[in-house]
Structure 1
Amino acid sequence: MNATTRLLTTLSVSNVFCRNIHSVLHQELKVAHMSEVPLKQLLLKNLRKSASAPEALFSTYVNLVDSISSPETHQEFAKTIMEPYLDSCFIPKDASPASTYDFPTASSSSVENSSENIAAIFSQEMDINRNSGQDDSFENKRLRDIQRYRAMRKWKRFGKLKQSVDPNDAFVLRLMSFNILAQSLLESHPYLYKEHDKEALHWKVRKYLITQEILQVEANVICLQEMQEAHLEEFLIPFRAQGYDYLYKKRTNDKDDGLLLLYRADQLVILDHLKVEMYQSGIEILSRDNVALVVKFALRENLETQIVIATTHLLYNPKRSDVRLGQTQILLSEIERLAFLENTMTGPKYLPIILSGDFNLEPNTGVYKFITQGQFTYQNKGRNLETQDYRLLSNLLIPPHLHVTDGCQHFNVLMQRLRGEGTGEVMLENRERGQKRLSEDASRAEELRVNGGTSQCQTIEIDDKHSVNFSSGTLTHPFRFRSVYKHKNRHGKPEATTNQGKWVTVDYIFFTEVEPLDKYSLPTADECNDLPTIPNYAVGSDHLCLAATFKVLKKKRSSL
């Protein structure tokens, strides 16, 4: 048998060198996301400049070590390996120059095709196909994760019978709510994600999965929390292409994420909106930077058919349910003034309302009870709004000088409304609008019956039929909110939307005066334990999305 000698070429040397140096760097220096393409280019460049291959190899090694010590160059290496993957995600190979984005629709065939394409992209671009065993393991595992996750997320109708909707009588509104996890928050709290697959935490990887899941739901209104302002314009591109317009509200005091509300501009028109700031200077219970969006929509084809949609992201701190209660009081007072229609013999009448978001509270806890039951007594409860023997709350929650009543109404607005004299002034500050808190001198003297300097309970008689309370120790609101989700399946197993040390529900869609048709089912906590830690290659956020479809009755057009 004749011995065979392999011809060493520049390209083969570079291939061998790159494979070995890549392995050494990964094991010894723990440097991730290094692409072989720049290594090859660097080696070929040094081979052309050097007299010998050993000298070129040594120069390349020195250059590479120097580049690793430079954060800018390290970022460029990461960018080099991620961008080809993202180009494959967003730009089909046969796309024309005029057609840049090609997002999958909700059809089953396109969903399956996109899943296969993503699996192929991960195998090719993330350098995991070192041998067929590893490749099969990764691809099969990822496909199983996707299939398992999709099996958990099915549309389920309310009631046993499928309802038909006459488009002449009602409008079908589908709303989605999703905390998409701002990349800045992910990167500033790395200890929360130390068990995660680091490749799956890249924003461009997560953005594709998030965008895909949102567009597949085909909602008329999309409410997103933790939308990073720096990513907003790029994130909006595919939604604008699909006919969505938007409102955005960043959190206060230089926070870099906020709320994004997208809506189908060909179906809905905004009549009015409020960008609500929970932060009120000098008030401890309102010293956090949470915000809300409250929007009054009308059907474009029938402007008399209106609905109020609100979304928020309340404080996370598990120990401060009292803060979330105060934030909810502010939010409901803003919803109340935008949703109000008229006073009737049986009380005030309001537009239909849908309220969604990340409330950072579990079912049947204090704030949840307040929202769904319309009343809650906080006095003599602990800060967690549970019964305890120490640090009990007094009768005072929000100070009365804000003129927000214990019935979640703005006192000045209510006074003017009852007189038929306009909307009244709101005693809240709002930095985005340049609105400072109004002093008592700025309002008419007869409206200033509220003693803003006392913590004592106040009951103020407006007229023979109307009175309001401040600092009574009990909050009420006029709405009859129900939750789309029951929070347990038919076997009594708890549902989950995120993992906060354990799988729990903290995200909600509440509604009133509209009829639910179906909902996007949530998995149970036990089922979530079968998934890899989120975010992963099937789920792009650390929360699961919620969605529901409602029937909104159309108003009869006024006769001319």
Structure 2
Amino acid sequence: MIAGYKLVTTVPLANVACRFLHIGALDQALKIFHMSEIPFKHLLLGNLRKCAPVPEALYSTYINLLKSKLSCSDGEELGNTMEPLIDVCFAQNESSNCQMTNNFVQSMTNFQYGTSRKNYRELRQWKSVGNGISSTIPESDFILRLLTYNILAQNLLETHSYLYNYHNKNALSWEGRKPLIQQEIIEAGANVICIQEMQLDHLEEFLLPFKANGFDYLYKKRTNEMGDGLLLLFRRNQFKLVDYVYVEYNQTSSDILNRDNVGIVAKFSLKESPETHIVISTTHLLYNPKRSDVRLAQTQVLFAEVERLSFIENTRDGPKYHPIIVCGDFNLQPFTGVYKFITDGSFQYLGKGRELQENSGFRRLNNTLIPSCLLITDNCQHFNVLARRLRGSGDGHTMLYSRESNCNQNRKCLEHMLTNEVDINSSDYQKIAIIDGEYATFSSGALSHPFKLKSVYSHVKNNGELEASTHQDEWITVDYIFYTDIELLDRYRLPTVAECRQLPHIPNFVVGSDHLCLGATFKLKKRAL
């Protein structure tokens, strides 16, 4: 009991709490909760452990918060504060206890929801980069806004429910999360939307508001028995789908490419400028934190398909490509091995451990990453495609296969396309001349790619604080938007680690997923006819 004041009553404390909360003291309680520096949630959870009845826990939480705000040195002052409230407690009808408690809980939920939503909105603002959107010219510039979001498939949430033990269980249902996810996506005003962990049996209902708002889509489920996949939405009145490929990373029986992760690569032209093209890709790479080598191999396969669809022509200065955006959940942190490969354009993996770090782990990578039978060069190009470009002959088929009917033939049908120039059974270094001065290499111990990709986000604020997009034991960034040959105008701000720590566990009643979405606005130069 509070020092300096004694509450003498034989009425059960639960009844006192219910009566007290019914008398208009709710406004005062809410003010105290709002002013308190002590988190309401933590106090309430602690009191729930101590006293099973919810009303008693609520009352005890109120008392604890009151103690933190009022001075206990003057017993009379505190007594005067509490006395009129307690007097009225005895005048209330006991039959309304349960309803009053429910009303209070709902009021507190609404109160916290409103506060949390306001705080979240303040953290997630669109921030201009460089000259900003005002520098655009409608006649020559097209504005492309892209959003990428891992929305947390419900089947994965339920399979790995232990990851959400400290979450509000009422915030974890799909029916509760779906409208929050849809609302944030729609409010962003994007004309291209890339979604990871889209559950197949939720797809049809999820698409309803987007179809109604003029979106078309591509969907690729993860392979085998996995129930979720990737969804790429685009406005049909702005984009024409020219070409696309569903990329499956489960290609061989080897440990490096036998996972069920997938990617989508799509080539679009603008409806208002048919000569203007852009290639947009989304993916969700392997999660296993210890297998960065697998993520590197998956990226090599993905970039080979990006290279194939984005190629325009060879010039004296090298290959020319359409603008490219690559986004998704890469399950890797900034400035680590695969990130460096993506942004630097090259990476040596030979001699590194599976985490792609020096002196890391007892298993060192040799000179071969992916099997040469896939005919993907160390420069992330399909050998047959490259040979056809440079020689003007050959079938140009890739050795990748997909379970989707619109993608390449199955493995058996591809066997006759194998070149006799590449030893597909060898893991030794191979350097093969295609034409004079042009070579393809395999198993060199290093990878490169021809793109100059940059990240939309800097990952570190000017004050040194790190940005975060999800919580995996700690707040980290694993989601990205990379781009090249297109101008960045603004981005959907990511909160810092310190700011994320002030948020309730996600998903919650404001954020519908365990990831935060990323967004960027670009200016694409229209090509003249």
Which residue identity lines up with residue 223 of structure 2 in the other structure? T
In 1: Cα distance, 2:144 partner to 2:237 partner: 13
TM-score norm. by structure 1 comes to: 0.75
Q: Pick the aligned partner of 1:363 from 320, 328, 334.
A: 334
Q: Which residue of 2 aligns with 1:65?
A: none
Q: Deviations over 1:281-314 (max 9, x none)?
A: 3121001000000000000121101000000000
Structure 2 counterparts to residues 24-173 of structure 1, below 5 A:
130=101, 133-159=104-130, 163-173=134-144
1:190 matched to which residue of 2? Answer: 161
Where in structure 2 are the equivalents of 1:124-523 lying within 5 Å?
130=101, 133-159=104-130, 163-388=134-359, 390-421=362-393, 424-433=396-405, 435-437=409-411, 442-443=416-417, 447-523=419-495
TM-score of the two chains, using structure 2 as the length reference: 0.79
Query: Residues 266 and 440 from structure 1, CA distance in 2 versus in 1: closer, same or farther, beyond 3 angstroms?
Result: closer
Deviations 1:200-250 (A, max 9, x none): 001011000000000000101000000000000000000011000000000
In structure 1, C-alpha distance between the alignment counterparts of 2:100 and 2:113, rounded to whole Å? 14
Give the number of aligned pairs.
432
| Range moving further from structure 2, 130-139 or 164-173 | 130-139
Q: Deviations over 1:242-282 (max 9, x none)?
A: 00000000000121100000000011010000000000131
Which deviates the most, 543-552 or 457-466?
A: 457-466
- Taking the aligned partners of 2:466 and 2:162, their CA distance within structure 1 comes to 27
Matches of 1:207 and 1:262, distance apart in 2: 16
What CA distance in whole angstroms lies between the structure 2 residues aligned with 1:205 and 1:542?
14
* Partner secondary structure for residue 469 of structure 1: strand
**Shift in Å, 1:422:** 6.7
Cα distance between partner residues in 2 of 1:323 and 1:161:
38
Asked whether the 8 Å contact 1:163–1:517 carries over to 2, the reply is no
RMSD after superposition: 1.9
Q: Check conservation: 2:384, 2:394, Cα contact below 8 A.
A: no
| Aligned position for 2:93 | none
Q: How does 1:546-557 map to 2 (within 5 A)?
A: 546-557=518-529
- Preserved CA contact (<8 Å) 1:291 1:313: yes
Measured after TM superposition, the shift of residue 465 of structure 1 is 1.9
One-letter amino acid matched to 1:322: D
3-state secondary structure, aligned to 1:248? strand
How far did 1:437 drift? Answer: 2.2
Q: What residue identity is the alignment partner of 1:418?
A: L
2:8 is matched with none
Aligned-partner residue type, residue 316 of structure 1: Y
Map Cα deviations across residues 420-465 of structure 1 (whole Å, 9 max, x no partner).
2376011122112272225775127xx4211111111111111212
**Paired AA for residue 521 in structure 2:** T
Decide whether the 8 Å contact of 1:427 with 1:438 is kept in 2.
no
For residues 295 and 454 of structure 1, the distance between their equivalents in structure 2, rounded to whole angstroms, comes to: 33
Q: How far is the alpha carbon of 1:340 from its aligned partner?
A: 0.4
Q: Is the 8 A contact 2:345 2:451 kept in 1?
A: yes
Shift of the 151–411 alpha-carbon distance from structure 1 to 2, 3 Å rule, reads same
Partners of 1:303 and 1:162 in 2: CA distance: 23
What stretches of structure 2 of length at least 5 have no aligned partner?
1-47, 53-97
Find the aligned partners of 2:280 and 2:132 in 1 and give their Cα distance: 27
Hey, which bits of structure 1, 4+ residues long, moved more than 6 A?
Answer: none
Distance 2:495 2:482 in 1: 19
Q: CA distance change for structure 1 residues 297 and 129 in 2, over 3 Å: closer, same or farther?
A: farther
